[in-house]
Chain A
Amino acid sequence: MVAPTGWMRNKEGLGVWEHRGKVAVAGVGHSPMDRRWDEKLEHTLGAYSIIAAQRAAADAGIKLDDIDGVLSCPGPLGDNWAPRPYFDPPYDSEDGITKVTAEWLTRGLGLKNTKWVHSYDSHVGPEWGLGAQAVGDGLCTTLLMLYPTGNLPGRYHHEMDNHARGPNQWLNLWSWGGISQWAYSFNEYCRRYNSNHDRLAPFVVNSRRNGLMFDWSYYAVHQPEPFTKEDYLAARWVCKPMSLFDADRPVQHSTAYIITTGERAKAMKQPPVYILNHAQGQNKVRSSVETIEETEEWTARLARILYEGAGLGPADIDIFNPYDGYTLFTQYWLEAFGWHGVKKGEAHDFYAGDISVEGPHPFMSSGGNNGTGRTRTAIYTDCIEQLRGTAGKRQVNVRAETAVAGCVLPQNNGHIVFGKHPS
């Protein structure tokens, strides 16, 4: 099915979002959490997606028949993994095993009343914007939005070929890619702003602490022991200055949200969490690498677009959960959004202060990916729970009426603003 056209909010000057406060999150559901798929039917990404969807509907207090829209970014998140032996239908292809389309989920749940079912070939950042816009535009009134993240045995993105074809001609000869890009960028950041890798320790330790406060997170379930500064500093290099604990851990997990109109949300089980704006950034590097100048320009522009459409400014944002797939780029988002007054080059000083959830600057209250596993959704769930007042041990002591979360990179991302109130 088609998505609304021209839905992206990726330019300055668009004004306040036309559906500001008229779309709301009504339900959240997380599946069980594993490190990898163990090749059992009941632990497939499809099975986990069904569980997440059922939990989201229950959280919202609605029946599955109330759902009239389904949106998924199917994946796979790692490699294509195939081919493999399959099971009987509906697990007879990659759909349901390593990826989950909206169509598969609709059939798997037995949904009967859908009028908009869309599989979106992207990631959860822009997915939030598409979902919010779809409900706002009336393509559906009660949307089930899924984000599945699968992980299989082995390592992915490995290139063992002795030949480099296509884009790899310009990458593989020098092992360039995501990790090296951000290691290079972080080195440049440190040179420019007189910092060093060790100064990330408080941020990472804080994220791991916060992540343990989600009872479903990877570390809460599988590695609940505290994570210390010494653990962080002793980690082996992956691509110096990126160490093992600067990269999130891939997991097998699905998350589902129920998004509906603001009016319908008021009649549902949970206090509505309104969507005040969404924004996306798609940028192209000038040459082989993304320079710091490009990163700072793109993140700043995205922040301006997001603030403009929400009618808010940096001082208005209470909860801030930027992306931390690699810890080495989170600082660019923090500085671009100017959260709690942090300017260019000041992020590491900020990390050295009190950023705990109990304190005055509860940065990354979700723990992010590094605190919970590579779900990319803890950041959104935390925003929603903080604004509902149901974040438990993570509940901040400061005001919690607005929240920002986003994924993934400065080059390609989507961000969203949530509000406790519609206006």
Chain B
Amino acid sequence: MPKPIPVPDEVSKPFWAACNERRLVVQNCTACNRKQYPPQPTCGACGSKEHLEWLPTSGRGTINGYCVMYDSRVGPLQADQPINIVVVALEDDPAIKFLSSLPGEPTDNVPVGAKVEVMFQDVGEGQLVHEWRLAK
């Protein structure tokens, strides 16, 4: 399923570079001991920029919920509708939520509560993006 290709910027560049190495990382504030995703210029809690670091994750999570898109506003996704939009809670910190289309699974009747693991999908122009699949 084609996806838009993310354009890395100053804040997100390390994240997308890690994806290209098949690593899922998140920001962590060493002052607050607080992870955050999506990446931000500063810590969402204390506002610090200098205390932000990148941490590897387990790459494991749980399906928190979902919906099914039938009429997307995003052009590149329209040909494959309907598509799952799944919310994944990261095992390392369930407050951290990722999105996924759960590639390879049928639409609807997504198993909420199921374990998932990260995978990486080539979206073109040499960019891998993080996706999730049901854990084996």
A40 close to B (CB within 8 Å): no
Give min CB distance, A208 to chain B, whole Å.
Answer: 21
Which parts of A227-242 form the interface with B (CB within 8 Å)?
236-242
Output the residue of A180, A242, A284 with the most chain B CB within 10 A: A180
Contacts of A288 in B (CB 8 A): 37-38, 87, 97-99
Contacts of B6 in A (CB 8 A): 163-165, 169, 173
User: Interface size of B by Cβ–Cβ distance < 8 Å?
Assistant: 41
Q: Please classify how large the interface on chain A is, using the bins under 10, 10 to 19, 20 to 34, 35 or more.
A: 35 or more
Which parts of A139-193 form the interface with B (CB within 8 Å)?
155, 157-170, 172-177, 179-180, 183-188, 191
Summarize A's interface: helix, strand, loop or mixed.
mixed
CA distance A240 to B85 in the complex (A): 10
Give min CB distance, A403 to chain B, whole Å.
Answer: 33
Contacts of A160 in B (CB 8 A): 75
Q: Tell me whether A287 and B96 are in contact (CB under 8 A).
A: yes
Name the one of A175, A284, A287 contacting B95, with C-beta atoms under 8 angstroms. A287
Q: Tell me whether B99 and A240 are in contact (CB under 8 A).
A: no
Which parts of B22-57 form the interface with A (CB within 8 Å)?
36-38, 44
Say whether, besides A165-B9, A287-B97, A173 and B65 are in contact (CB < 8 Å): no
Of chain B, the residue at the smallest CB distance from A238 is B71
CA distance A176 to B98 in the complex (A): 11
Name the one of A163, A177, A241 contacting B5, with C-beta atoms under 8 angstroms. A163
Give min CB distance, A82 to chain B, whole Å.
Answer: 19
Q: Tell me whether A159 and B38 are in contact (CB under 8 A).
A: no
Contacts of B83 in A (CB 8 A): 175
CA distance A167 to B40 in the complex (A): 10
Q: Tell me whether B75 and A164 are in contact (CB under 8 A).
A: no
Contacts of A155 in B (CB 8 A): 73
B74 close to A (CB within 8 Å): yes
Give min CB distance, B73 to chain A, whole Å.
Answer: 5
CA distance A295 to B71 in the complex (A): 25
Contacts of A286 in B (CB 8 A): 44, 95
A64 close to B (CB within 8 Å): no
Q: Tell me whether A174 and B85 are in contact (CB under 8 A).
A: yes
B4 close to A (CB within 8 Å): yes
Output the residue of A163, A174, A177, A239 with the most chain B CB within 10 A: A174
Q: Tell me whether B67 and A173 are in contact (CB under 8 A).
A: no
Which parts of A347-374 form the interface with B (CB within 8 Å)?
none
A-contacting residues of B (Cβ < 8 Å)?
A: 3-9, 12, 36-38, 44, 64-77, 82-83, 85, 87, 95-101, 108, 112, 123, 129
Given A162-B75, A239-B68, 17 other A-B residues pairs in contact with their CB atoms under 8 A: A159-B74, A159-B75, A160-B75, A163-B4, A163-B5, A164-B5, A167-B38, A169-B6, A170-B99, A175-B83, A175-B85, A176-B99, A184-B65, A184-B66, A191-B65, A237-B71, A287-B95
A-B contact pairs, 20 of them (CB 8 A): A159-B73, A161-B75, A164-B5, A164-B7, A173-B129, A174-B99, A174-B100, A175-B72, A175-B83, A184-B85, A185-B65, A191-B65, A239-B71, A240-B82, A284-B44, A286-B44, A288-B38, A288-B87, A289-B99, A291-B64
